[in-house]
């Protein structure tokens, strides 16, 4: 079996980070919670179910693109180390891993330690020669990578970049750029702007799997913080924000209620119909992706699309400008 190492860079049991996010998000107007806390082991399992739903096209589109271009990506980058941001079950990167038989190190990064352990041990059995160094970390707050051979390919797949607001995306892109050396690369998955009905259907399936995934966030808060949310008293809601070109997932209180979170000494009142925004999922256009990459010092090298539904982008650090040299003053022309 291949070496499997887990490094924790989150506070123990992630409790401190969770407390900070909950305190900040539930004391503001409107109320918000960050989607990273969806992904405990059960939440990751639910998300895997979502990716197999007929209306949830992003996972199928991304998988088709990876199947078609993984060999090209491997050849183009020559990566010896693959860093997988928001790895979850590592399912979305398996095609990439399969195209890299000589890969030296795989670095899955996720806030869910249980998901990392489960996926890491399963992969270790399948790839006995691969070094697996999992990081239990919140990559949105900065990231230090373990020592591993280059070139390195940082993969940020699943359209997860869309869960960040524009300033957060800019900060993350700059953080990723700071990790890249000449010869390294970034592989980015982005969902594209399309018909509103298609977008809504992808986040509001008739079987209620996405609703269960959304409500699982409240279960996480109950378990980790001793809160007394009643998930049954909240309804899953989805809307398309045309101005910002993003989907919003929300939990709407079906009645006036009060929720207590004892470790935070916090009491949260909800009016009937009041909502918690739990996820933003931005949709992109090619020019916008190019601009955001350029703003972080990255250059778009390849753009692959699946029926104008979804895109994979391969980007590389922009080479620094040549050093300035002192030149003698130019003589005036006669």
DSSP state at residue 192: B
Asked whether residue 307 is domain-assigned, the answer is yes
Rounded to the nearest angstrom, the gap between the alpha carbon of residue 156 and the centroid of all alpha carbons in its chain is 6
Residue 12 placed within a domain: yes
Mark residue 142 as left, alpha or beta (left: phi above 0; alpha: psi -120 to 50; beta: remaining).
left
The structure's pTM equals 0.86
In whole angstroms, give the CA distance from residue 255 to residue 271: 7
Q: Domain total for the chain? A: 2
Largest CA distance in the chain: 87
CATH code of the domain in which 16 resides: 3.40.50.150
Tally of residues, the chain: 334
Residue 30 lies in a domain: yes
Q: Is 326 domain-assigned?
A: no
Please tell me whether residues 245 and 135 are part of one structural domain.
no
Residues 187 and 205 in one domain: no
3-state helix, strand, coil in the chain (%, to 5): 40, 25, 35
Same domain, 43 and 133: yes
Q: Please give the pLDDT value at position 10.
A: 56
Is there a single domain that holds both residue 191 and residue 218?
Answer: no
Q: Are residues 64 and 201 in the same domain?
A: no
For the chain, report the end-to-end CA distance as a whole number of angstroms. 78
Number of H helices, E strands in the chain: 9, 14
Q: Give residue 155's domain range.
A: 4-195+284-317
Output the pLDDT for position 320.
Answer: 65
Query: How far apart (Å, rounded) are the C-alpha atoms in residues 257 and 242?
Result: 31
Q: Kindly report, residue by residue over 209-245, the tens digit of the pLDDT.
A: 999 999 999 999 999 999 999 999 999 999 999 999 9
Residue 322 has pLDDT above 50, yes or no: no
Domain check: are 87 and 217 in the same one? no
Q: Are residues 67 and 99 in the same domain?
A: yes
Does residue 37 sit within a domain? yes
241 neighbors 283 (Cβ within 8 angstroms): no
Looking at the predicted structure, is the pLDDT value of residue 93 above 90? Answer: no
The answer as to whether 101 is a domain residue is yes
In-domain check, residue 334: no
Residues above pLDDT 70, as percent of the chain: 92
Task: Assess whether 310 and 217 both reside in one domain.
Answer: no
Domain contains 323: no
pLDDT digits (tens, 9 = 90+) for 17-38: 889 999 999 999 999 999 989 9
Average pLDDT, the chain: 89
- Give the confidence band of 3 by pLDDT, cuts at 50, 70, 90: low
Do residues 40 and 142 both lie within one domain?
Answer: yes
Q: Are 93 and 148 part of one and the same domain?
A: yes
One domain, residues 112 and 33? yes
Nearest Cα neighbor of 108 from 128, 88, 78 is 88
Q: Which residues pair with 246 in a beta bridge?
A: 241, 282
Residues 83 and 202 both lie in one domain:
no
270 beta partners = 257
pLDDT in tens, 131-179: 888 888 888 877 778 888 989 999 999 999 999 999 999 999 999 999 9
Whether pLDDT at 54 is above 70 = yes
């Amino acid at each position: 079996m291949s070496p499997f190492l887990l490094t924790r860079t989150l506070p123990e049991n992630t409790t401190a980070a969770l407390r900070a996010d909950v305190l900040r998000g539930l004391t503001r107007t409107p109320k918000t919670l960050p989607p990273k806390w969806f992904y405990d082991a059960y939440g990751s399992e639910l998300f895997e179910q979502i990716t197999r739903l007929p209306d949830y096209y992003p996972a199928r589109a991304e998988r088709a693109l990876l199947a078609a271009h993984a060999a090209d990506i491997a050849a183009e980058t020559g990566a010896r180390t693959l860093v997988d941001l928001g790895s979850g079950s590592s399912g979305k990167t398996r095609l990439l891993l399969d195209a890299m038989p000589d890969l030296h190190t795989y670095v899955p990064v996720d806030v869910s330690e249980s998901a990392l352990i489960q996926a890491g041990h399963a992969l270790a059995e399948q790839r006995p020669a691969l070094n697996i160094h999992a990081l239990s970390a919140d990559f949105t707050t900065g990231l230090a990578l373990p020592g591993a051979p280059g070139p390195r390919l940082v993969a940020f797949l699943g359209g997860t970049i869309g869960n960040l607001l524009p300033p957060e995306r800019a900060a993350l892109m700059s953080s990723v750029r700071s990790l890249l050396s000449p010869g390294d690369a970034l592989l980015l998955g982005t969902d594209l702007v399309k018909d509103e009905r298609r977008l809504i259907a992808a986040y509001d399936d008739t079987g209620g799997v996405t609703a269960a995934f959304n409500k699982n966030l409240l279960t996480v808060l109950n378990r980790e913080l001793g809160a007394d949310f009643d998930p049954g008293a909240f309804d899953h809601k989805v809307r398309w924000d045309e101005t910002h070109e993003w989907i919003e997932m929300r939990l709407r209180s079906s009645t006036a209620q009060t929720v207590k979170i004892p470790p935070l000494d916090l009491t949260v009142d909800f009016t009937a119909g009041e909502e918690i925004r739990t996820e933003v999922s931005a949709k992109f256009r090619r020019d916008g992706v190019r601009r955001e990459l350029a703003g972080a010092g990255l250059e778009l090298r390849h753009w692959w699309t699946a029926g104008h539904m979804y895109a994979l982008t391969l980007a590389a650090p922009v080479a620094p400008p040549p050093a300035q040299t002192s030149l003698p003053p130019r003589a005036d022309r006669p």
